[in-house]
Amino acid sequence: MPLDFQFTNLLSATALKSVQWSEGPIILVIDGLDECGNETDRKVLMKALSKGFSDLPSFLRVVLVSRPEFDIEDTLTAHPAVYSYSLDIGSVTTREDISEFLRYRFSEIRETTKRPHLPPDWPGRDRISALMESAGGLFVWASTACLYIESYAPDYRLNELITHQSAVTTSGPFANLDRLYKTGLQSAGSWGDSLFRTDCCNILGAILCVKTPLSYSAIDSLLALPRPCLWSISRLGCVLRGGETEVVRILHPSFHDYLSKRCSAEPWSINLELHNETLAVHCVEFLDNTLRQNICGLTLPHPVGKETLPEAVSYACKFWVEHVCLISHSADTIGDQIYEFLGRHLLHWMEALAVIKSHNTTIRSLQNLLEWLQKLLPKHTALLQIVYDGHRFAQYFANTIGEHPLLLYMSALPFTPANTSIYERFDHKGLPKVICGVEKLWPRQLQLFQHNHSVNSVTYSPDGSNIVFGSGDKTIRVWDASTGVEVLPPLRGHDGPVHSVALSPDGSKIVSGGDSTIRVWDASTGVEMLPPLQGHNADGRVSSTSVAFSPDGSKIVSGCQDSAIRVWDARIGVEVLPPMRGHDSRVNAVVFSPDGSKIVSGSTDKTIRVWDATTGLEMLPPLRGHDGIVISVSVSSDGSKIVSGSNDKAIRVWDASTGVQMLHPMYAHSYHPVFSVAFSPDGSKIVSGARDKGIAVVDLNTGVRALPHLRGHDGYVMSVAFSPDGSKIVSGSDDKTIRVWDAHAGVEDPEPLQGHYDLINSVDFSPDGSKIVSGGYFTARVWDASTGVQMFPPLRHDHNVLSVAFSLDGSKIASGSDDTTVRVWDANTGTQLFPPFQSNSGSVSCVAFSPDGSKIVSGTRNNTIHVWDVNVGTETLPSLRGHDTSVWLHSVAFSPDGSKIISASDQIIRVRDASTGVEMLPPLRGHDGPVGTVAFSPDGSKIVSGGDNTIRVWDTITGVEVLPPLRGHDGSVTYAAFSLDGSKIMSGSWDNTIRVWDVSTGAEMAPTQITHQADDEISASKRDCPIVSLHQGWFTDLLTGRCLGKLPVGSSYYGWRVWGSYCVGWTAEHELVILRFAVGA
CA dist., res. 616 & res. 628, Å (int): 25
Backbone angles phi, psi at 961, to 5 degrees: -70, 130
- Confidence at residue 473, expressed as pLDDT on a 0 to 100 scale: 96
Confidence of residue 167 (pLDDT cuts 50, 70, 90): low
Tell me the per-residue pLDDT of 78-132, one tens digit each, with 9 for 90 and over: 777 787 877 766 678 888 888 888 888 888 888 775 666 788 888 888 888 888 8
- Confidence at residue 88, expressed as pLDDT on a 0 to 100 scale: 67
- Confidence at residue 11, expressed as pLDDT on a 0 to 100 scale: 67
pTM above 0.95, yes or no: no
Tell me the per-residue pLDDT of 826-852, one tens digit each, with 9 for 90 and over: 999 999 999 999 987 889 999 999 999
Q: What single-letter DSSP state applies at residue 817?
A: E
- Confidence at residue 1014, expressed as pLDDT on a 0 to 100 scale: 29
Q: What single-letter DSSP state applies at residue 54?
A: G
CA dist., res. 935 & res. 976, Å (int): 7
Range among 12-21, 156-165, 479-488, 903-912 with highest mean pLDDT value: 479-488
Tell me the per-residue pLDDT of 420-459, one tens digit each, with 9 for 90 and over: 999 999 998 889 999 988 889 999 999 999 999 999 999 9
Tell me the per-residue pLDDT of 668-687, one tens digit each, with 9 for 90 and over: 998 899 999 999 999 999 99
Which residues are CB-neighbours of 357 under 8 A, at least 6 positions away? none
Confidence of residue 756 (pLDDT cuts 50, 70, 90): low
How far, CA to CA in Å, does 37 sit from each of 68, 209, 305, 403, 1056?
A: 14, 12, 32, 33, 55
Q: Which domains, ranges and CATH numbers included, belong to the chain? A: 3-76 (no CATH), 188-270 (1.10.10.10), 274-431 (no CATH), 452-565 (2.130.10.10), 762-992 (2.130.10.10)
- Confidence at residue 1022, expressed as pLDDT on a 0 to 100 scale: 38
Exposed/middle/buried for residue 224 (C-beta within 10 Å: 0-12, 13-18, 19+): exposed
- Region 543-564: mean pLDDT is 94
Range among 542-556, 621-635, 826-840 with highest mean pLDDT value: 621-635
- Confidence at residue 305, expressed as pLDDT on a 0 to 100 scale: 86
Q: What single-letter DSSP state applies at residue 752?
A: P
Tell me the per-residue pLDDT of 916-938, one tens digit each, with 9 for 90 and over: 999 999 999 989 888 889 999 99
Tell me the per-residue pLDDT of 591-607, one tens digit each, with 9 for 90 and over: 999 999 999 999 999 99
How far, CA to CA in Å, does 543 sit from each of 195, 512, 719?
A: 75, 11, 18
- Confidence at residue 732, expressed as pLDDT on a 0 to 100 scale: 98
- Confidence at residue 537, expressed as pLDDT on a 0 to 100 scale: 61
- Please say if the pLDDT value at position 52 is more than 90: no
- Confidence at residue 564, expressed as pLDDT on a 0 to 100 scale: 94
- Please say if the pLDDT value at position 376 is more than 60: yes
Sequence letter at residue 658: T
Q: What single-letter DSSP state applies at residue 601?
A: E
- Please say if the pLDDT value at position 1023 is more than 70: no
The gap from C-alpha 451 to its chain's centroid, in whole angstroms, comes to 10
Closest CA to 595 of 660, 640, 556: 640
The rounded percent of the chain whose pLDDT value lies above 90 is: 56
Least confident of 462-471, 795-804, 946-955, 982-991: 982-991
Cβ-contact 672, 690 below 8 angstroms: yes
DSSP letter for each residue of 985-1036: EEEEETTS-EEEEETTT-PBPPGGG-----HHHHTS-TTSPPSEEEETTEEE
- Region 765-773: mean pLDDT is 89
Cβ-contact 359, 400 below 8 angstroms: no
Backbone angles phi, psi at 350, to 5 degrees: -60, -40
- Please say if the pLDDT value at position 18 is more than 70: no
What is the overall mean pLDDT for the chain? 87
- Please say if the pLDDT value at position 887 is more than 50: yes
For the stretch 915-918, contacts whose Cβ atoms lie closer than 8 Å and that sit 24 or more positions apart, written own/partner, are 916/877, 917/867, 917/877, 917/878, 917/880
- Please say if the pLDDT value at position 609 is more than 70: yes
Tell me the per-residue pLDDT of 458-475, one tens digit each, with 9 for 90 and over: 999 999 999 999 999 999
Coil vs helix vs strand at 722:
strand
CA dist., res. 636 & res. 647, Å (int): 21
Least confident of 545-549, 641-645, 1057-1061: 1057-1061
- Confidence at residue 1013, expressed as pLDDT on a 0 to 100 scale: 34
Can you point out the beta strands (E) in 827-869?
Answer: 837-838, 844-849, 855-860, 865-869
Helix (H) or strand (E) holding 423: helix 421-426
